[in-house]
């Protein structure tokens, strides 16, 4: 158990976790990113899948483009007008481990009984993949063996 503290080791205005939550922390933004990680790219598809009100979806997509998580590109279906689609940038794609970790947390703590609706496996061995903390040389580290190092 973490010992009692009167304040966090880093003030929220200097904390990258707090900054990340400000950028991606609301429900609709996380759900849009989740869908994008599974290949959804078009406004109507996001709206149909998530049931997001159109004005909210439009604002969140605009914000995700402005923060560099999505790239807005044009596509055209023959005989129809050009329309935008939203593709993950490298910055957005880098959230994949975070969202998989949240999925696996939900599998453990929210799913109850039965098999989770989705799992992740290695393409070569087909073994299950789970999120973990690892050192630079690839050794897994338990939460109990991690320490916080403050940079001044």
Question: What's the pLDDT tens digit per position in 76-123?
Answer: 989 999 999 999 999 999 999 999 999 999 998 997 777 888 999 999
d(CA 15, CA 11): 6
Q: What would you measure as the largest C-alpha separation in the chain, in angstroms?
A: 64
> In order of start, what are the domains of the chain with their CATH numbers?
16-145 (1.10.10.10)
Residue 142 region, left (φ>0) first, then alpha (ψ -120 to 50), else beta? beta
128 has pLDDT over 90 = yes
How buried is 46 (Cβ within 10 angstroms: 0-12 exposed, 13-18 middle, 19+ buried)?
buried
Question: What's the pLDDT tens digit per position in 4-41?
Answer: 889 888 889 989 999 999 999 899 999 999 999 999 99
Inter-residue contact 70 to 86 (CB < 8 Å)? yes
Residue 71, helix vs strand vs coil: strand
How buried is 23 (Cβ within 10 angstroms: 0-12 exposed, 13-18 middle, 19+ buried)?
middle
């Amino acid at each position: 158990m973490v010992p009692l503290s009167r304040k966090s080791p880093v003030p929220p205005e200097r904390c990258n976790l707090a900054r990340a939550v400000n950028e991606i922390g609301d429900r609709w933004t996380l759900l849009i990113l989740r869908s994008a990680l599974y290949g959804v790219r078009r406004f109507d598809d996001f709206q149909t899948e998530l049931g997001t009100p159109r004005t909210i979806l439009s604002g969140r997509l605009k914000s995700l483009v402005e923060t560099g998580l999505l790239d807005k590109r044009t596509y055209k279906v023959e005989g129809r007008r050009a329309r935008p689609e939203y593709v993950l940038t490298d910055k957005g794609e880098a959230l994949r481990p975070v969202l998989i970790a949240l999925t696996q947390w939900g599998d453990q703590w929210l799913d109850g009984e039965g098999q989770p609706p989705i799992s992740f496996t290695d393409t070569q061995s087909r073994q299950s993949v789970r999120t973990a903390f690892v050192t630079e040389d690839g050794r897994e580290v338990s939460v109990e063996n991690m320490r916080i190092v403050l940079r001044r």
